[in-house]
Structure 1
Amino acid sequence: MTSYKYIFVNTQPAHVIQSDEEALSIAKALSQQFREDAVHRDQTRTLPFAEIDAFSQSGLWAITVPKQYGGAEVSSWTVAQIIALFSGTDGSIGQIPQNHFYALEVLRTTGTEAQKKKLYQEVLDGRRFGNALAEFKSKTASQKNTYLTPYQHGYLIQGEKFYCTGSIYAHRIPTLVKDDNGLEYLAFVPRDAEGVTVIDDWSGFGQRLTGSGTVKFDQVYVDAEDIVPFSTVFSKPSLVGPYAQLMHASIEVGIARASFEETLIQVENARPWIDAEIEYATQDPLTLYELGQIAVDVKASELLLNKAAHFIDFIKTKVTKENIAEASIHVARVRAHSTETALQAASKLIELAGSRGSQRKTGLDRYWRNARVHTLHDPVRWKYYFLGNYRLNHILPPRRGTL
């Protein structure tokens, strides 16, 4: 267990991406670079500080900044494709910017003009946001015990968070806090503020490099201008919930597709099963049948992701209760499907690779471990419940970040 006082790697301004096409081009090249040492990083749990710095310096962490503030404001489909690309290369790296983009969407929804100008510019310059939303020691997931109290020209934060994905690598840690009246806020706490302690105690068997451990706040001062309302994010219709879930689905689609592509490579190099009476494993009819099933499921998840992303963009300027409910249903469909597809594809990778696929040096197990840990984020059984209740009884799903 290590406590980090983060030293920012790069102080130079980041590249500013101008379009969806440029963003995708950079993402394809950079994700391939990250592939080279992915197995080593996972097996040795080498935290990817240099990779994350290169990731944000490339401009990819600023692609959702609105055009009026100097960003590319790329489509939700472009964001989904980019997260899927990096997740296929390294599931941890694909997940790390998810909460960064989530915080930017909260800022877009409830932030003031002054807050947007300030924080968007920081992101354009290359600053990264982590997260301190969830708590591990409360009785229920919805119960929060991290509070802020007025102090001088701002507030003091006291509390402890867990599952703080990306905070080890962050310049600011958006932190969910409550005031004495029970109202919630998202405080964009500077990572190097006095009283902030980031502890690397994440021990998940998958997504090992996300840094999803503990952050402690001991009377941490934060300026009033760095706090945005959060209570209203889900009390009224907004895209925050569907957008968050779209990114989670992208992680799973990326892992599923990469698992399938790796399976093709492994089958080409596998020995045929003796009873098949064939010369090459690629001729095995039962293997071909399994590959066909996975190919269909992976493509279906990709298409569902595409449809959900385009629907979110379609209603971006038409936010209503009904539209947000429909968007939530779109992303629930892909999350339900991508959860099962990622787990199945990753499992079949090892099965069809044969005994050789179980060898630790191949690192094939990381796909399943990453998929299994990430898909625990929201139980897929509840996705199906809300989908069924919506279709049969016309009951709108809840407006939360979990659907």
Structure 2
Amino acid sequence: MTDRRRAWGSGPTDRYETLAARFRPIFAEIAAGAVERERGRIPLHEPIGLLKRAGFGALRVSEAEGGAGATAPELFALLIELSEADSNVTQALRAHFGTAEDVVGSPDPALRARNVARLVRGEIFGGAWTEVGTAVQSGFSTTVRPVDGRLALTGRKYYTTGSLYADWIDVGASDADGRDVGVIVPAGAPGVEIVDDWDGFGQTLTASGTGIFTGVSVDPADVVLSEEKLRYGAAFYQLVHLATIAGIGRAIARDVAAAVAERRRSFTNAAAARPAEDPQVLQVVGEIRGRAYSAGAIVLKAAEAVELAARTRRGGDIAADDEANLLAELETAQAQNTVIDLVVASAGRLFDALGASSTRQGLALDRHWRNARTLASHNPRIYKERIVGDYAVNGTPPPYQWRIGLPG
């Protein structure tokens, strides 16, 4: 029988199938429990534990150091496959892979060695950078200051995605000199509290809620200036969103095809006796699959720009690095709207191939729209279109980082 998983396109490298084969049984196990977790709001400790033990978090670490040595396109292809299984898991690991990307390309040998060891041990990083309420755009209210002969981290964060499942948390703060820094602290340290109070209608299991840090002891070796972190970070983090959305597109295609194949009831005004033989229904299924194929292809093309930026960061050629970072940001921004449009449309379109019974809560088919729409709302795409247009018309380079908050 034909393997219907095929026709998503060949992997981004010759060795990709070998690399992916290590993780596909885990992805299948994760997929098997996705609906139950969604319906019961069951935290992701089990699926993330499976990935940790398999070394998934060290994909970008070199093979010589104990990782998989994955290229950026290989990483993002795997994230698409994981997202087809359960997009909540990928989103919960977004901060981890962003931190890992920063670590493997860090020009600081001691900082790199310290955190590569954590990655190879299977440890997971969460993130806590965004502040809400009266937070301003110009800096962090969260601080790291000398207190009684030690460094102490104090502040309150939101959108602490994945930190509930993490061993370490990368926190944005202001140091005693008023500089923006990244601070890595143990997730289980005294004074760290992660509250699962995320109440969005999508990505409900990612624990993207409140993080409270009260006098948390900080090792000075785990503090780095924000300006020294990877410049293509915004492009990388956005592309994780797009890979997740592309994976949702594949999940939609999978679920609608399976549902149509199983249906026996049809309408008197249908074009065939069974939905699986109805050309109009099959057209909808094919349309959805084509959108998913296109979304994945776009993501993997943009991943090539991220790979180039990663290489130039390590290469020492400032001009080449400037060019690569510009391209990574622009290509990801150009990909953003098209990928979102393809998949969000499919998330609604799938119900046209099915009957009203497909809206039953037990099937949880609505999760695809809720999850894709939630991800699509991050980093507003209307601004990305303007930035791309400004570059195309006026040659204005894109901003590499941005923040939300009150002006000031």
Query: Would you say same fold, with TM above 0.5?
Result: yes
Contact 1:183-1:231 at 8 Å conserved across structures:
no
Contact 1:111-1:229 at 8 Å conserved across structures:
no
For 2:59 and 2:325, the matched residues in 1 are separated by 23
Which AA in structure 1 matches 2:110? A
The equivalent of 2:288 in structure 1 is 294
Structure 2 gap segments, 5+ residues each: 1-14, 313-319, 404-408
Residues 313, 210 of structure 1: alpha-carbon distance in 2 compared, 3 angstrom cutoff = same
1:44 to 32, 40, 44: 40
TM-score normalized by structure 1?
Answer: 0.88
The equivalent of 1:10 in structure 2 is none
The equivalent of 2:177 in structure 1 is 181
Contact 2:60-2:104 at 8 Å conserved across structures:
no
The equivalent of 1:346 in structure 2 is 347
Contact 1:135-1:141 at 8 Å conserved across structures:
no
Residues 389, 31 of structure 1: alpha-carbon distance in 2 compared, 3 angstrom cutoff = same
Task: Please give the secondary structure, in 1, of the residue aligned with 2:22.
Answer: helix
For 2:120 and 2:44, the matched residues in 1 are separated by 21
The equivalent of 2:375 in structure 1 is 374
1:57 to 2:53 alignment:
yes
Q: State the shift of 1:162 in Å.
A: 0.8
Residues 258-297 of structure 1 aligned to structure 2 (within 5 Å): 258-270=251-263, 271-297=265-291
1:308 to 2:302 alignment:
yes
1:147 to 121, 143, 147: 143
Residues 143, 340 of structure 1: alpha-carbon distance in 2 compared, 3 angstrom cutoff = farther
Identity rate, percent: 27
Task: Please give the secondary structure, in 2, of the residue aligned with 1:278.
Answer: coil
1:163 to 2:159 alignment:
yes
Task: Name segments (4+ residues, structure 1) moved above 6 Å.
Answer: none
Which AA in structure 1 matches 2:355? G
Residues 318-337 of structure 1 aligned to structure 2 (within 5 Å): 318=312, 319-337=320-338
Task: Please give the secondary structure, in 2, of the residue aligned with 1:377.
Answer: coil
Which AA in structure 1 matches 2:130? A
Residues 126, 108 of structure 1: alpha-carbon distance in 2 compared, 3 angstrom cutoff = closer
Q: State the shift of 1:396 in Å.
A: 1.7
Which AA in structure 1 matches 2:177? N
Q: State the shift of 1:233 in Å.
A: 3.5
For 2:139 and 2:283, the matched residues in 1 are separated by 47
1:87 to 83, 87, 95: 83
Contact 2:172-2:182 at 8 Å conserved across structures:
yes
For 2:375 and 2:73, the matched residues in 1 are separated by 21
CA displacement, residues 83-110 of structure 1 (integer Å, 9 cap, x when unaligned): 1112111111121111101112223455
Residues 283, 141 of structure 1: alpha-carbon distance in 2 compared, 3 angstrom cutoff = farther
Moved more, 338-347 or 284-293: 284-293
Q: How many residues align?
A: 381
For 1:256 and 1:208, the matched residues in 2 are separated by 18
Structure 1 gap segments, 5+ residues each: 1-18
Contact 2:131-2:156 at 8 Å conserved across structures:
yes
The equivalent of 1:124 in structure 2 is 120
The equivalent of 1:205 in structure 2 is 201
Contact 1:351-1:357 at 8 Å conserved across structures:
no
The equivalent of 2:249 in structure 1 is 256
